[in-house]
Amino acid sequence: MNTWKSYLSRVARGRDHAGDLNRKEAEIFFSAWLDGALPDLLAGAFWVAYRIKGESLEELQGFHDALRSDIKPLSRPSRLLPVVFASYNGTRRRANLLPLLALALTRCGVPVIVHGPDLHTCPTASPPDSMAETRVFSAQIFQHLGLASASSLAEADTLLRLQGLVYLPLSAWLPGLQRIFALRGNLGIRSSVHTLVKILHPFAPREAVVCAAVTHPPYLQRLQEFFLQTKMLALCFRATEGEPFANPQRCPDLFTCQQGSARLLLAKDKMPVSQLVDLPENTVSATSAFTLGVLNGQYPLPQPLAKQAAALLLMSGRCGDLTSARRLLRRTFSRIAA
């Protein structure tokens, strides 16, 4: 108890005066939290403290070390690197196109895992407000499309090999983190857990491509630093309502972290895209119908999603360069917005 109090006294001094834990201290602290050894009062205090302070690079590495020790990694289902998306936010103002992006990659032969909240928690996974009922989660769309989700890592491995794409609820592979994540519903604010889920995947550290999207600009640099330190492969960019798909009206800068360096792979659109796709209303049924319509050639694939897909086809090893990635997408999808 005294250890946790001393840690709290360092990190809970406000944005300007708070200190940081070192990597090992952060690992010890977060391991205790994952195991349920942290008293509820202190857990809430740490949650709020990190919401104010933010986590340092060493703290983020220590938290990640604690989580990795609980994961028995999956093996790659093919020679290609699987692409992993963290989908925990849902969308309120515009259609959630992450399932479309995931299915587009799968159709091109790339294995994909999307992890997020349990389906039964989705309606209450956002903070209580007047618009909460309109938030649409990827898990809901995948269920509507008939895609089976996994109840364990072993089942995720089987489903990934059978259908090329699987939705993996957080409780199915990291129940301790799911228990911590549930504090969001009680406290109504985000904290370090929401940063952590963006960098997690169930494979060996360098055996997958993480599609990491952030809402706040400072975290774009922080996550790139983390991926370079750990030598994990990642595509980093500004999120769309917190979800890791490119804004369908104006693609953000797409940065790659690989081979020890971060670089701008595709620059953001300077102007809104010239041909806007008529997007569906933000409901599960309308978004699911639109997703199927794009896959069936009824509607064009939005250009920003095509750019993001091309980047991920390159990083996964499916294509050798962006030109061949774009060519594959044109062969696979009869219509891509200009």
Specify the 3-state DSSP secondary structure of 215: coil
- Residue 123 confidence (pLDDT) above 60: no
Q: What is the tens place of the pLDDT at every residue in 26-45?
A: 999 999 999 999 998 999 99
Rounded Cα distance between 66 and 35, Å, is: 10
SS3 helix, strand, coil % of the chain, rounded to 5?
Answer: 50, 15, 40
**pLDDT band (50, 70, 90) for residue 275:** low
Q: Which amino acid is at 124?
A: T
Task: Assign 84 a pLDDT band (cuts: 50, 70, 90).
Answer: very high
Average of per-residue pLDDT across 134-156: 94
More confident residue, 308 or 336: 308
Per-residue pLDDT tens digits for 280-313: 999 999 999 999 999 999 999 999 999 999 999 9
Residue intervals of the chain classified under CATH 1.20.970.10 are: 2-68
* CATH architecture, range 2-68: Up-down Bundle (1.20)
- Residues 90-109 have pLDDT tens digits of 999 999 999 999 999 999 99
Q: What is the CA radius of gyration of the chain?
A: 19
**What value does the mean pLDDT take over residues 310-320?**
98
Start and end residues for every CATH 3.40.1030.10 domain found in the chain: 83-332
pLDDT > 90 fraction of the chain, expressed in percent and rounded: 77
Dihedral class, residue 241 (left if φ above 0, else alpha if ψ from -120 to 50, else beta): left
- So what's the pLDDT on residue 49? 92
- Cross-strand partners of 238: 214
Distance CA 231, CA 248 (A): 30
CATH code given to domain 83-332? 3.40.1030.10
Whole-model pTM?
0.93
Average pLDDT of the segment spanning 123-127: 46
Which run of H or of E encompasses 116?
A: strand 112-116
| CA pair distance 218, 210, nearest whole angstrom | 18
Residue 44 is which amino acid? Answer: G
Q: How confident is the model at residue 112 (pLDDT cuts 50, 70, 90)?
A: very high
The partner residues of 257 in beta bridges, in order of sequence, read 234, 262
Looking at residue 259, its pLDDT comes to 81
